[in-house]
Amino acid sequence: MSQHAVWMTFRSMTADPSVKSQKLKPGTIKRIITYGKPYKSHIIIFLITVVIEALLVVSTPLLLRELIDKGVLPKDAGLVTKLAFLVGLLAVVDAAFNIFGRWYSARIGEGLIYDLRSQVFAHIQRQSIAFFTRTQTGALISRINSDVMGAQQAFTGTLSGVVSNVVSLVLVVTTMLILSWQITVVSLLLLPAFLLPTKWVGKRIQALTRDSFNLNATMSSTMTERFNVSGALLVNLYGKPAKEENFFRTRARKVADIGIQTAMLNRVFFVGITSVAAVATAFAYGIGGHLAINGSITVGTLLAITALLIRLYGPLTALSNVRIDVMTALVSFERVFEVLDLQPMIVEKADAKVLKKKDLKIDFTDVAFSYPRADEISLASLESAAKPETVESGEVLRGITFSAPAGSLTAIVGPSGAGKTTMSALLPRLYDVTRGAITIDDEDIREFTVQSLRDSIGVVMQDAHLFHETISENLRYAKEDATEAEMIEACKAAQIWDLISTLPNGFDTMVGERGHRLSGGEKQRLAIARLLLKAPAIVILDEATAHLDSENESLVHEALKHALKGRT
């Protein structure tokens, strides 16, 4: 049995059988087909190469039969040379079709991955802030990576595998029956001896693989939390590095032990499957040898059947688990569709207007707001990360009414938890009001396009977020085509240029994860510089100077004078 056949059998046997019990939503398969339509011609050509390769699998043993019976035994040197050349040519043709098919398979697979990843990423970007507060980042990344990869297997792996195995099996069994039905029947009777051990090994490896995945997930989560700046500070300040190391070592040791067990089972599987195939071949030689001696079959026929026998068990065992392979791919597609089916909570009107004015008056009129329930915004399959709540959350804002004239400074004062941050999130429509209305120049903010509304608003939060990029890249996030002169002007106004100008790399200095290479005050001033580049008509300050020392607070206040000038 070839290494490829053994591997395909192994992959089939170790697939998770639990997917068989999962039910697909109506229309899933029809929806999957739509993703394959752009690659229809590629898929057809790819499947044709798969069928041709299956035909070549049968052709070589038949040529071998002719070479022995009509060339070697009659001592026809010329025919031996011709047939040997033809066997070599078929091998080259088979290799060419294999490469040709792989190219089409790659085009289909990578194209599907690109389409699905792009759609999922774009759709996630359109979700409300409430969605991100309820859903694990790692789970979303898994949807974009692991599940998309699994989904593309439906076309490049499962579909081609089913077609290849069915065609190969039909051709091989038919050819073997024609050559010798006796050997074929005996070979098929030996199939249980081939399947049962591999089933047992497959179940053991499935269990070990699940344990390994769970442990690796725990280790990944641990590393994610401990290897960011905040996590590393907490570990060091509370004097727990040794405890963390022991915790990690314990799980790493378990993963290593599982790896050893899996490696041994893998070897047992490969040795066992090739041994059973060798036993089956021995039976074929024994029975076929007697038939050849009796004159029932020729020597060439015997060699052809044994060559075909090697190509029989791989497709048989793979097809015995084809439902698992198909369901695994389909479930991956369905998990991707779960994300794509999420409806954004912030919906823009079809006839929404573009907000272009600069001097803007803001009015809150009898505004009430309740945070949405988890089951309204989170993925059903991520309940462990965001367990759906069925109880309505109470109103966190009620009867809020005030007016902020254009160009004025309006302060909202209240204790922690009173809803100040929530109010600041309603204006740029990070959430929509439950009742009442927010208007800009007497027009409801829901009448404007979301993009133009948010382009008109700048926000400086209590903890300014900076990407792990250079200072210039963080600044240009507000204005992509900002010139260096514009950035310098904004930084001077934000009271941060004196610092940047002394840095060896200036604007090309990396700020570190979440800007941790800068102090709190420096991050705030850089965020204000970014806001100045955006030049919004409305500025929201959400406790922008909280937790700063007096010196930094003074510098930030000076920067805010420039940021707020002429703005609401």
**Residue-level pLDDT at 383:** 45
In a 13 Å sphere around the CA of 322, the CA atoms on its Cβ side amount to 16
CA–CA dist 348, 454 (Å, integer): 13
CA–CA dist 520, 526 (Å, integer): 10
Query: Phi, psi (5° rounding) for residue 101?
Result: -65, -40
CA–centroid distance for 78 within its chain: 58
Q: Which residue has the tokens 């804002």?
A: 397
Enter the tokens of residue 224: 């994610």
8 Å CB contact between 209 and 261: no
DSSP assignment, residue 510? B
Instruction: Indicate the Cα dihedral angle 229, 230, 231, 232, nearest 10°.
Output: 50
**Length in residues, the chain:** 568
Report strand pairing: 457-460 vs 538-541: parallel
| Amino acid in the structure at residue 303 | L
Enter the tokens of residue 85: 């050349």
Closest residue by Cα to residue 376 from 388, 362, 360? 388
pLDDT in tens, 124-140: 888 877 777 777 666 67
Enter the tokens of residue 110: 């990578």
8 Å CB contact between 393 and 373: yes
Closest residue by Cα to residue 175 from 305, 325, 14, 60? 305
Q: Which residues contact 556 (CB under 8 A, 6 or more apart)?
A: 495, 521, 524, 525, 528, 544, 545, 548
Enter the tokens of residue 72: 């070697």
Question: Which domains are assigned to the chain?
Answer: 18-179+321-343 (1.20.1560.10), 352-449 (3.40.50.300), 456-568 (3.40.50.300)
Closest residue by Cα to residue 367 from 402, 412, 393, 394? 402
Q: In tens digits, what is the pLDDT along the chain, a chain of 568 residues?
A: 444 554 455 555 455 554 445 566 677 778 888 888 888 888 888 888 888 888 888 888 888 888 888 888 888 888 888 888 888 888 888 888 888 888 888 888 888 888 888 888 888 888 877 777 777 666 677 677 777 777 777 777 777 778 888 888 888 888 888 888 888 888 777 777 666 666 676 667 667 766 776 676 667 666 766 776 666 656 665 656 777 778 778 888 888 888 788 778 777 777 777 777 778 788 888 888 888 888 888 888 888 888 888 787 777 767 766 666 677 777 778 778 888 887 878 888 888 888 877 778 888 889 888 887 766 666 655 544 444 444 445 778 888 888 888 888 888 887 777 778 888 888 888 888 888 888 888 888 888 888 888 888 888 877 777 888 888 888 888 888 888 888 888 888 888 888 888 888 888 888 877 777 887 778 888 888 888 888 888 888 776 555 555 666 676 666 666 667 767 7
8 Å CB contact between 168 and 60: no
CA–centroid distance for 442 within its chain: 44
8 Å CB contact between 341 and 123: no
List the Cα angle 131/137/139 in 5-degree steps: 95
| Amino acid in the structure at residue 188 | L
pTM to 2 decimal places: 0.70
Enter the tokens of residue 32: 């999957």
Distances in whole angstroms, Cα of residue 148 to Cα of each of 56, 119, 135, 491: 33, 11, 18, 42
In a 13 Å sphere around the CA of 144, the CA atoms on its Cβ side amount to 14
CA–CA dist 280, 186 (Å, integer): 9
Q: 194-233 as b/e, with b when 16 or more CB fall inside 10 Å?
A: bbebbbebbebbbebeebbeebeeebeeeeeebeeeeeee
CA–CA dist 76, 311 (Å, integer): 29
8 Å CB contact between 297 and 306: no
8 Å CB contact between 42 and 108: yes
Enter the tokens of residue 57: 């699998």
List the Cα angle 467/470/475 in 5-degree steps: 75
Q: Give SS3 for 460.
A: strand
Alpha helices in 180-240 (DSSP H): 181-189, 191-226, 229-237
| C-beta contacts of 503-508 below 8 A and 24+ residues apart | 505/470, 506/471, 507/470, 507/471, 507/472, 507/475, 508/470, 508/471, 508/472
pLDDT in tens, 442-452: 888 888 888 88
Angle, to 10 degrees, between the axis of helix 181-189 and the axis of helix 241-293? 150
Distances in whole angstroms, Cα of residue 81 to Cα of each of 59, 73, 92, 312: 17, 14, 17, 29
In what order do the strands lie in the sheet containing 362-370?
395-404, 362-370, 435-440, 443-444
